[in-house]
Structure 1
Amino acid sequence: MADTKKVLLHEDWAVVVLGFAIIALFLLGLVVPVPSFSWSSAEDLTQKVFTAGNLMKIGAQFIVVFVFATAGAWLTNKPLKSSLLVFPVVFLLTVVALIIAGNKGVKDLNLEAVIFSLTIGLIIGNVFNLPAGFREALSTELFVKIGLVLLGTSVIFSDILKAGGLGLVQALVVVLSVWYFAFWLCKKLKVDDELSMMISSAVSICGVSAAIATAGAIKGDTKKLSYVISLVLITAIPMMIVMPYIAKHYGFSEEVTGAWLGGSIDTTGAVVASGTLVGETALKISTIVKFSQNVLLGLAAFAISIYWTYAGKATPDAAEKQKPTLNVIWERFPKFVIGFVAASLLFSFFLSAEKVSAVKDGMKSIQTLWFVLAFTSIGLETKFSDLINSNTQRPLYAFLGAQLFNILVTLVLAYVLFG
């Protein structure tokens, strides 16, 4: 019997559809009250956060994100029953993170909810042996990409044109120089070709997405891909927390900091989290710069597939299946970027200032919630043992060496272009 389960929409298209469905509901008059998580004492918790009215607001947000998370699971053929059971758990942990981040003392330290959601997820994901079905039902990429489409509503299109042009220049220099250095370092450390390609792309372009695209282009070993993804996720955690504080310590401007974060941190979600720690301008610049790198993903996958095929690395069968054509660029292109730009165009040119103002707070709150949900999920699905159980430490050394080079090169370019 033929398998009738099919992915109705690729995840990137699904997030565009879901993101714009949320935007449409808000524009049509949906009002999702913004709950309060601010408190300074135990008494405040009971009188401000745990009141019946505020809990109803939290419940209203839960209904909205639950409906859209379930729709996303259905569209992308995630296990629907598991998703229905797992999502409330993720949401509950996310609310705990939001409450912790709402404490006055924590706010004074400039610690955001994404840090606490990530930490809570990491503790639970590594201390407890979560069922495989639980991890499979997590929708990290879906959550963060919906949040990014919604982020487009707060980014004026003129900013994209201005920062995006500089970001594209930075991305071209970073991708070419870092990719070459990473590949050279991998060969020096005698890392095999498949792993070298995946590591080089992950460090230089956009982390997990680049590793996956490269593995697809070269028909790479999925175990090696899993190892590279683990490296990306685990190294992104300290980078996204430490780099904003280094920038503040040395007095970098938000523009320079955003360009530095967006160009050097490997995952889009971690870029968003670190940019949030610095400020609104840094968040916008870091996101735009990261998008500039994401745009190069299709071109990179195309170039890699050509190299892999014509250098004789691919088997005859693989070469037949992966003929390098212009379609590869479109297949690898991150479609959610289209959603981000379209949302920005809509809110920049087609809506009145009054309409934008009316939906601004509700949209911002839901956007933030998607990001925090994503980082709860990242923590739950990340296993530190993935690195410990590796057969060799050489890929780890290559990755870390290339990442250090990436951080330094990107900082210099950020100062030159955005200083």
Structure 2
Amino acid sequence: MSTVALANPKTKFSLTEDWTVVVLGLLSIVLSLNGLIIPAPVFGWTDASSLFSNVFTAKNGLLIAGQFAFTYVIALIGTGLIAGKSVRATLLGFPVVFGLTLLALILAGNKTLKDLNLEAVIFSLGIGLAVGNLFRLPDWLRSSLSTELFVKIGLILLGTSVIFGDILKAGSLGLIQALAVVISVWYFAFWVSKRLKVDDELTMMLASAVSICGVSAAIATSGAIQGDSKKLSYVISLVLITAIPMMLVMPYAAHAMGLSPAVTGAWLGGTIDTSGAVVAAGTLAGEEALKISTIVKFSQNVLLGVAAFAISIYWTYTKNQTEVAQTSKPTLGVIWERFPKFVLGFLAASLLFSFVVSPATVDTVKGSLKSLQGLWFALAFTSIGLETRFSDLFNADNRRPMYAFLIAQTFNVVITLVIAYFLFR
């Protein structure tokens, strides 16, 4: 969101952008439920031969073109509805952003890189950073970057995969552990960040990323507090980088400690911050550990909407009180104006798919919506990379957030092991 919108939440731009995101996200879902299903392209490949036989085919090219056309139209509509945005810039710039994102998706589809749990967002961020730092971007391309729009549409689509009925299937122990871990680790990470004098935005993103579900939690929190996209990219980088050694080391550490498969799975699912890394680590630990780790990780994931809602209320009630006297609290009207409306879209999508849409219909559309969600996130991180300078990511000021993250993650590993041992032994 622009600096102007943050400074004055009563501006038309701020309000219009919030509701535009909700409209476009829910519109995508409604169109899908009414038969406009955008098939997911194939990006998986192992070598040059499979790259051309799986990805670079006419059929797959049409699927990619279908996703491009759909997201292009949505982006243009969004630009047209948001005051102050240039439709002409989006018309020219979006194909460039999509092309760079497509390259990232193809790289992330390589089996070797997928086995290392290198997710598409890290490639889209890296490619954006490389292009943005090596070349001088034209003004029309810079003005076409709509990170907030892309991220929040993706978050609303994410709501379709958070099914409340599945919480019961996850099991009571998984949900109890998820609640205990999320609450204890979030507050510890918050406390450590404050002690290390990390700024408020980074503190909220770090605490949510460590305690809930990594990348998705960081993105949701950033949206809820209208956070700086550069800070978000830094947190995402920390999450993805630390997930790799944890994924490789923790299964063997569990074996060395003689933990049962159930305790091992609960430990892995509660500490490793990305779902892909949890699955990889669970696979290394065995079939039962894989099952338990998936249940526990899912139990934490379903808390994302609740956490985003709570963080939104806290942030809007305590921060950015520029037009309110420092000695007074904002009124309910001011809180409503500042409240990020995408959270309502997320919850609406989750409730719709939990209690209204039939399971058969969910199975029909979930693949398409999941693919579009990932694409919107990847487009957002390409945009973040394009508008970020390396000097902003790697400087002395970023050491304290890194220390806070690592300390919180260490606490997460220890406390989750204790909780998992007593619940699952």
Question: What does residue 307 of structure 2 align with?
Answer: 293
Question: What does residue 236 of structure 1 align with?
Answer: 236
Shift of 1:20: 1.5
Question: What does residue 73 of structure 1 align with?
Answer: 79
Matched, 1:343 2:349: yes
Question: What does residue 126 of structure 1 align with?
Answer: 133
Higher mean alpha-carbon deviation, 42-51 vs 353-362, is at 42-51
Shift of 1:25: 1.0
**How far apart are the structure 1 equivalents of 2:233 and 2:303?**
19
**How far apart are the structure 2 equivalents of 1:335 and 1:164?**
27
Per-residue CA distance 1:87-111 (angstroms, 9 max, x = gap)? 1111111222222233344444444
Answer yes or no: is the 8 Å Cα contact 1:112–1:277 preserved in 2.
Answer: no
**How far apart are the structure 2 equivalents of 1:203 and 1:124?**
27
Answer yes or no: is the 8 Å Cα contact 2:151–2:376 preserved in 1.
Answer: yes
Per-residue CA distance 1:53-99 (angstroms, 9 max, x = gap)? 32122111111111112222223333222122111111111222222
Question: What does residue 179 of structure 1 align with?
Answer: 190
The 1:38–1:203 alpha-carbon spacing in structure 2 relative to 1, beyond 3 Å, is closer
**How far apart are the structure 2 equivalents of 1:165 and 1:328?**
35
Matched, 1:38 2:44: yes
Shift of 1:157: 0.8
**How far apart are the structure 2 equivalents of 1:284 and 1:63?**
32
**How far apart are the structure 2 equivalents of 1:200 and 1:238?**
13
**How far apart are the structure 2 equivalents of 1:329 and 1:160?**
30
The 1:361–1:414 alpha-carbon spacing in structure 2 relative to 1, beyond 3 Å, is same
Per-residue CA distance 1:212-239 (angstroms, 9 max, x = gap)? 987x9xxxxxxxx86xx63442243132
The 1:45–1:32 alpha-carbon spacing in structure 2 relative to 1, beyond 3 Å, is same
Answer yes or no: is the 8 Å Cα contact 1:19–1:146 preserved in 2.
Answer: yes
Question: What does residue 386 of structure 1 align with?
Answer: 392
Query: How high is the TM-score relative to the length of structure 2?
Result: 0.73
Question: What does residue 112 of structure 1 align with?
Answer: 119
Letter in 1 for 2:411: V
Per-residue CA distance 1:339-392 (angstroms, 9 max, x = gap)? 22322222222222222222233222222222222222232222221256x7xx
Question: What does residue 155 of structure 1 align with?
Answer: 162
Matched, 1:367 2:373: yes
Answer yes or no: is the 8 Å Cα contact 1:171–1:292 preserved in 2.
Answer: no
**How far apart are the structure 2 equivalents of 1:75 and 1:164?**
41
**How far apart are the structure 2 equivalents of 1:156 and 1:208?**
19
Question: What does residue 24 of structure 2 align with?
Answer: 18
SS of residue paired to 2:408: helix
**How far apart are the structure 1 equivalents of 2:13 and 2:57?**
42
Shift of 1:246: 0.7
Per-residue CA distance 1:111-134 (angstroms, 9 max, x = gap)? 433332222122112222324553
Aligned pair partner of 1:135 in 135, 142, 145: 142
**How far apart are the structure 1 equivalents of 2:143 and 2:392?**
16
Shift of 1:250: 0.2
Letter in 2 for 1:341: L
SS of residue paired to 1:354: helix
**How far apart are the structure 1 equivalents of 2:207 and 2:180?**
14
**How far apart are the structure 2 equivalents of 1:332 and 1:34?**
35
Question: What does residue 396 of structure 1 align with?
Answer: 398
The 1:208–1:114 alpha-carbon spacing in structure 2 relative to 1, beyond 3 Å, is closer
Answer yes or no: is the 8 Å Cα contact 1:294–1:334 preserved in 2.
Answer: no
The 1:148–1:303 alpha-carbon spacing in structure 2 relative to 1, beyond 3 Å, is closer
Answer yes or no: is the 8 Å Cα contact 1:35–1:57 preserved in 2.
Answer: yes
Answer yes or no: is the 8 Å Cα contact 2:104–2:127 preserved in 1.
Answer: yes
Letter in 1 for 2:94: F
Question: What does residue 330 of structure 2 align with?
Answer: 324
Question: What does residue 6 of structure 2 align with?
Answer: none
SS of residue paired to 2:196: helix
Shift of 1:23: 1.3
Answer yes or no: is the 8 Å Cα contact 1:205–1:297 preserved in 2.
Answer: no
Query: What percentage of residue pairs aligned between the two structures are identical?
Result: 41
**How far apart are the structure 1 equivalents of 2:18 and 2:182?**
21
Letter in 2 for 1:157: F
**How far apart are the structure 2 equivalents of 1:414 and 1:344?**
28
Higher mean alpha-carbon deviation, 164-173 vs 47-56, is at 164-173
The 1:302–1:16 alpha-carbon spacing in structure 2 relative to 1, beyond 3 Å, is closer
Aligned pair partner of 1:353 in 359, 377, 385: 359
SS of residue paired to 2:325: helix
Answer yes or no: is the 8 Å Cα contact 2:224–2:308 preserved in 1.
Answer: no
Question: What does residue 89 of structure 1 align with?
Answer: 96
The 1:376–1:299 alpha-carbon spacing in structure 2 relative to 1, beyond 3 Å, is same
Aligned pair partner of 1:29 in 35, 38, 49: 35
Answer yes or no: is the 8 Å Cα contact 1:144–1:374 preserved in 2.
Answer: yes
SS of residue paired to 2:302: helix
Answer yes or no: is the 8 Å Cα contact 1:164–1:289 preserved in 2.
Answer: no
**How far apart are the structure 1 equivalents of 2:306 and 2:357?**
26
Answer yes or no: is the 8 Å Cα contact 1:9–1:76 preserved in 2.
Answer: no
Long gaps (5+) in structure 2:
1-10, 210-217, 255-263, 280-293
**How far apart are the structure 1 equivalents of 2:224 and 2:346?**
21
Shift of 1:208: 7.9
Query: How high is the TM-score relative to the length of structure 1?
Result: 0.73
Question: What does residue 282 of structure 2 align with?
Answer: none
The 1:210–1:53 alpha-carbon spacing in structure 2 relative to 1, beyond 3 Å, is closer
**How far apart are the structure 1 equivalents of 2:184 and 2:119?**
31
